[in-house]
Every structure is written in structure tokens, then in C-alpha cells.
Amino acid sequence: MPAALSAAFDKALALIAHDDAAVEAELGRMLAVDTSYPPGENYGSFADLIQAATAPAGFEHRRVVVPEELWRAPGARGERVNLIATRRTGKPVCSLYFHTDTVPPGEGWSVPPLGLTRDGDRLTGRGAADMKGTVAAALAAIRAADAAGLELAYDPALLLCTDEEGGAYPGIRYLAEQGLVEGHLLSFNGGAAPRIWAGCFGSIDLLIRVRGRGGHSGDPGNGVNALEAALPLLNALNALKPAVAARASAMPAPPHYGERPLHGLLTVAAVHAGQKGSSLPAVAEILVNRRYAPEERFEDVLAELQDVIDRAMETSPALGYDMETTGHLIPVEDPSGPHWPRWQAALAKGFGFTEFRPWGSSTSSDMGFVQRTGLREILLGGLTRPDNNTHAPDEFTTLTDVKALATSILAYLAADFAPDLMPTAQDGAQQ
């Protein structure tokens, strides 16, 4: 028989259920701070916002700035401010991870992207699902626990981190390498799904610059059109795509894949050249993204791309070219561990899930760098769903999902929830 939950727990659940106005207001303030990467500006302003929200609850704060020589990359600007918010009572620490950057808003929105638009249950804005809505959920859980006088099993440590969206040196990597990640780790860079995380692919962003010579398009003279000179390269990359996609991973695929396996991916994500019709572009920039499975070696993936690029450019009239890695996330491998059963129970409490299954993803995470420091178990939750336009125009989550995640976080942190599933120190509770 499960242990009975306390009156304080029931009161906290009721407070979350009726916390719509505070959730909406907090999320609106977060979405209004433009932390899109690139360029990754305003991290300090976002830290100010979270610090103001958590200080009344007794949290102490530490700002950790990633040195510029680590994260410097084309298009990246601004100080990389990571915020650690802790509240210590002597309990074991559970670190709750959030990335504070979003992808750029892009075109095609029906509502203002840098702000919250509520339509019934739907909450729309850049970062609503990925992943500022998860910060709002965690704050709602802590607010409810405090107001209800609920005893917690863990002291929460909030990690608000920079540059997950393809940055050269994610903030959580720096925190982990500096030994600043305490206890065990709960990442909210996942979805609202009955999932046991089986890991994810690595991701490489490669910027290729093809150089020509400017000239007048009506009288080009000795000009060299850099964009036209890049066509052999674009054709070669397109020809490589089927070979990359043929490399299947043994990692279990998500349910929506059906019987198809996870596989490598190559994307020409952006091409920039020229400014007006009367001028030949002197430089063409091509951004390539490569998703690679844990079975592939980073060095082999990069060498293959280098070889394809070099061979293609042998047939190009370009005056020169260069390439650089502007972002890299390494794969996450088997993040299971002793805390997962209790987190599954907490997700079931919040979302009503009844059956969990493991699967991985060809999307990527900065948690691979955390694993490399020795912290192998990583719990995963979040708000993303296949249909909520993550990384697309009109990204949204729902108030229902935010409150369900808040309930899951509350349950996981609460001392009287599923005590039989609480790992002992020997099992890894003090990791």
C-alpha cells in the first residue's frame, strides 16, 4: 500500500491547481526577456528576473560567468551569466537544470513571439515550451510547498544555464567541469511524455565560408560570385545526406517513429550571401548541422565532412574557403539510475501517465558534457510535445501541462511522496 500523503501535500496540490494568474504573470515576464541564441544576449537580465522571483523564498544566489575564450563564436555576443539558486536545510541536494536561451523567434508568427499570448489553455511565445515554461512550473511547485508548509526530501538547487541551443560552450558544461553541480540532476530539457530517457544524439554546427570577389552584376569583370562558387559544395552535401541517413542507431526510437530506427541526419540549415541584385556576393556562408549517434565517433564525423567539403571545393572557382565548428553537443548515453523509479512515480502523479517506456532521440542535449564529468544518471522531464511548434513559429505550451509538471516536481521533492522509492545513500542519493 502506498504511504498516505499529508494534509500539507494535498494543500500544496490545491495551491498549484489555482495558481493560474501567478504562473501566467511569471512566464510572461520570462518570455519578454530576449535570450535567443544566437546571439545569446540578456542572460544577465534573465538572471535578475529569477533572482528576484526566488529571493523571497529564501534562496541564495551565485552567478557564474563562462569565460569568453570558451564560448566565442560567430554571431555570439554578451556575457554568459549562469545563475545557481540554492536553499540549504541540510537535506540531500537535487539540482534542477534549465537552459535560459531559446532559438531565435524567426518569421511566421501570428502573435508577438517575445511575450506571452494566452488563448484559453494555450500559452504561446518563444520559449513557452522550450524551456521557460518549465522554470515557471518549478517556481509554482516551490511556491506551493512553502505556502502549504510541506516538508521536502531534497534541498532544490536551481541551475539557470546558458547556450544550450547550439552554443560553443554550454553553461551546464562549465558548471559541471567546475564541480558546481550538486547531488543528482533533474533536467527539464525533455517532453511531457511517459518516457524513460535512453539518451540522445550528438550535434555539430559547422560554418563554411566560401570566398569570391565582389563585382557589378551588370559588368562583373574579374568578380567571382561566392554563392555560385558554393554550388558544388551544396550539391556534395546534398549527395551525402542519404549515406548519413542510412546509419541507424541501436538506441530505441520514440513511439512516433513506428518501426523506423533513429538514424544520422545532415541538414543545410542556412545560406547567407549578397545584399542586392547589382552586386556579386564576395562571401557565402553555409551553416551545416550534423546529428550523430552514440555509435559514431565525433572525429570520424568531422573528418568525413572535411573530406566532402575539400573534394567539392576542388571543382569550385572560389578563391578560398574555411570552416569552423560553431556549436557541438556530444551524445548522452544511458542516463538511467536509482532515482528514476521515483521520478516516474512523480510524473505519473502530475500527468496521469500509467505506462512508461524507454526511448532516445536524434535531438541533442548538453547533458553529455555533464556525464563526461562523472555524473551519469540524469532524470528528464519537460513540456515539449510533438505538436507544440518547438523551434517553430507560434511555439506554445498549455497551462494544464505547466501545472502538471509543477505537480510532478512538487511530488518528487516532497518527503512524504513515495518514500519506498527513495534511494538510500548507498544507492546514490548523495551522488
Q: How many domains does the structure of the chain reveal?
A: 2
Task: Dump pLDDT digits (tens) for 40-93.
Answer: 999 999 999 999 999 999 999 999 999 999 999 888 999 999 999 999 999 999
Which whole number is the average pLDDT over 190-219? 96
Same domain flag for 309 and 406? no
Judge if 167 and 260 occupy the same domain: no
Residue 389, pLDDT > 90, answer yes
pLDDT category of residue 425 using cuts at 50, 70 and 90 = low
- Quick one: 297 and 381 in the same domain? no
- Is residue 431 predicted with pLDDT exceeding 50? no
Residues labelled as active-site residues: 101, 164
Contacts (Cβ under 8 Å, ≥6 apart) of 74: 207, 324, 326
The answer to whether residue 192 sits within a structural domain is yes
DSSP for 244-266, please give it: HHT-B-SSPPPGGGTTPPPB-EE
Q: What is the pLDDT of residue 256?
A: 87
What does the pLDDT average to over 346-356?
A: 97
Give per-residue pLDDT as tens, 212-243: 999 999 999 999 999 999 999 999 999 999 99
Domain that holds residue 130: 7-199+330-427
The answer, yes or no, to whether residue 350 has pLDDT greater than 50, is yes
Rounded Cα distance, 399 and 412, in Å: 20
In whole numbers, what is the pLDDT of the chain averaged over residues?
95
The domain that contains 335 carries what CATH number?
3.40.630.10
For 235-292, the pLDDT digits (tens) are 999 999 999 999 999 999 999 899 899 999 999 999 999 999 999 999 999 999 999 9
CATH number of the structural domain spanning residue 213? 3.30.70.360
Q: How far is CA 42 from the centre of its chain?
A: 17
Asked if residue 1 is part of any domain, the answer here is: no
Assess whether pLDDT exceeds 60 at residue 426: no
d(CA 233, CA 333): 33
Percent over 90 (pLDDT), the chain: 94
Are 96 and 25 contained in the same domain? yes
Look up residue 417 and give its DSSP letter.
S
In a domain, 187, yes or no: yes
2 inside domain: no
- Check whether residue 413 and residue 423 sit in a common domain: yes
Task: Report the pLDDT averaged over residues 20-26.
Answer: 97
Q: Which of 296, 329, 362 is the last residue of a domain?
A: 329
Q: What is the mean pLDDT of residues 15-33?
A: 98
- The answer to whether residues 413 and 276 belong to one domain is no
Say yes or no: 143 and 169 in one domain: yes
Q: Distance (Å, rounded) from C-alpha 396 to C-alpha 407?
A: 19
Predicted confidence band of residue 185 (pLDDT cuts 50, 70, 90):
very high
The span from the CA of 30 to the CA of 69, in Å, is 28
Residue 109 is assigned to a structural domain of this protein: yes
Are 223 and 272 in a shared domain? yes
Q: Is residue 402 part of a domain?
A: yes
**Residue 153 sits in the same domain as residue 59:** yes
Last residue of a domain, one of 299, 329, 359: 329
Distances in Å between the Cα of 380 and the Cα atoms of 256, 325, 344, 405, 411 are 19, 28, 10, 12, 15
Strand locations in 167-220 (E): 184-191, 195-211, 215-216
For the chain, what is the radius of gyration of the CA atoms?
A: 23
Which residue among 329, 353, 368 closes a domain?
A: 329
At 5 the pLDDT is 82
pTM: 0.89
- Look at residue 189 and tell me if it is in a domain: yes
Judgement on whether residues 240 and 387 belong to the same structural domain of the protein: no
* 66 falls within a domain: yes
Write the CB contacts of 405 (distance below 8 Å, at least 6 apart in sequence): 133, 134, 137, 188, 192, 350, 351, 381, 382, 383
Give the mean pLDDT of 107-114: 97
User: E strands within 6-115?
Assistant: 60-65, 81-86, 93-99
How many H-runs (helices) and E-runs (strands) does the chain carry? 12, 17
Q: Are 195 and 205 contained in the same domain?
A: no
End-to-end CA distance of the chain: 29
44, containing H or E segment = helix 43-54
Q: Does residue 283 sit in the same domain as residue 395?
A: no
- How many CB atoms lie under 10 A from the CB of residue 325? 14
β-pairing, 155-161 vs 93-99, is parallel
- Give 167's pLDDT tier (boundaries 50, 70, 90): confident
